């Protein structure tokens, strides 16, 4: 099963801590809230330094989509500069965390799963031509960051344009293809 989510349909809502606005891309269950989701994928523009919202029992992965990056201060870890060139960074969402902007606002991609129930892996993929994907994940989410990507699996196909998303259930094999250089985030969600 494949569900296509267009950028124009995403839900805009305030951050849990009230410090900004988040764009909810996808959540499971579909009507899940900030307190009862199994997994959640969102984008946010970070325009000022400050603390991250805390989510008890949640694991988080952060990726920088646009901007000069930010330095993360995660309790128990050395400070970490995260930019668009860096791989996604995973950390517990219930550990005190704050960020300092490197040089102006950034837009980030935030993936969260409920610890003990699910786990996730986030990869940034560059697609030009055909790219086969094999996965054992229960669900995968494809977020098209830049460009346009066609995807095909089990006789079903669709095209994602910039900021569109596809959610697929049990996709053992999948092929991505792009006529122009495109960037996609592959999010694999599975049972621990």
Write the DSSP assignment of 69-100 as a string of letters: -EEEEETTS--EEE-TTSPPEEEETTS-EEEE
Which structural domain range is residue 91 located in? 8-114
Are 14 and 59 contained in the same domain?
A: yes
Are 13 and 76 contained in the same domain?
A: yes
In a domain, 2, yes or no: no
pLDDT (0 to 100) of residue 184: 98
Helices (H), the chain: none
Are 84 and 172 contained in the same domain?
A: no
In a domain, 1, yes or no: no
- How far apart (Å, rounded) are the C-alpha atoms in residues 146 and 65? 10
In a domain, 26, yes or no: yes
Are 110 and 31 contained in the same domain?
A: yes
Are 94 and 149 contained in the same domain?
A: no
Q: Which of 59, 89, 114 is the last residue before a domain boundary?
A: 114
Better-scored residue on pLDDT, 19 or 138: 138
pLDDT (0 to 100) of residue 19: 59
Are 126 and 103 contained in the same domain?
A: no
Q: Is the pLDDT of residue 63 over 90?
A: yes
pLDDT (0 to 100) of residue 20: 67
- How far apart (Å, rounded) are the C-alpha atoms in residues 87 and 158? 27
| Arithmetic mean of pLDDT over the chain | 94
Are 104 and 14 contained in the same domain?
A: yes
In a domain, 3, yes or no: no
Are 50 and 139 contained in the same domain?
A: no
Structural domains in the chain (count): 2
Better-scored residue on pLDDT, 1 or 110: 110
pLDDT (0 to 100) of residue 34: 84
Domain of residue 52, CATH code? 2.60.120.10
pLDDT (0 to 100) of residue 59: 98
Are 37 and 107 contained in the same domain?
A: yes
In a domain, 105, yes or no: yes
Are 95 and 25 contained in the same domain?
A: yes
Among 134, 151, 131, smallest CA distance to 143 is for 151
Q: Which of 55, 82, 114 is the last residue before a domain boundary?
A: 114
Residue 28: Cβ within 10 Å count: 18
pLDDT digits (tens, 9 = 90+) for 136-177: 999 999 999 999 999 999 889 999 999 999 999 988 889 999
Are 75 and 152 contained in the same domain?
A: no
pLDDT (0 to 100) of residue 85: 96
Give the confidence band of 18 by pLDDT, cuts at 50, 70, 90. low
What's the token pair of residue 146? Answer: 């830049």
Q: Which of 114, 144, 159 is the last residue before a domain boundary?
A: 114
Q: Which region holds residue 31: left if phi is over 0, alpha if psi is between -120 and 50, else beta?
A: alpha
Burial class (CB in 10 A: 0-12, 13-18, 19+), 26: buried
pLDDT digits (tens, 9 = 90+) for 88-142: 999 999 999 999 999 999 999 999 999 999 999 999 999 999 999 999 999 999 9
Are 37 and 100 contained in the same domain?
A: yes
């Amino acid at each position: 099963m494949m569900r296509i989510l267009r950028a124009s349909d995403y839900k805009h809502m305030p951050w849990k801590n009230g410090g900004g606005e988040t764009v909810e891309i996808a959540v499971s269950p579909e009507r899940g809230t900030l307190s009862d989701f199994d997994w959640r994928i969102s984008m946010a523009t970070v325009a000022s330094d400050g603390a991250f919202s805390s989510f008890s029992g949640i694991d988080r992965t952060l990726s920088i989509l646009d901007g000069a990056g930010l330095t993360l201060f995660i309790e128990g870890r050395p400070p970490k500069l995260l930019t668009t060139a860096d791989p996604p960074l995973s950390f517990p969402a219930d550990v005190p965390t704050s960020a300092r902007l490197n040089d102006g606002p950034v837009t980030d991609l935030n993936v969260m799963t409920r610890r003990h129930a699910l786990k996730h892996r986030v990869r940034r993929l560059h697609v030009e031509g055909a790219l086969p994907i094999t996965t054992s994940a229960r669900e995968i989410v494809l977020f098209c960051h830049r460009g346009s990507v066609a995807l095909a699996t089990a006789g079903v196909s669709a095209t994602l344009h910039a900021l569109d998303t596809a959610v697929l259930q049990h996709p053992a094999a999948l092929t991505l293809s792009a006529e122009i250089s495109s960037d996609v985030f592959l999010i694999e969600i599975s049972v621990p």
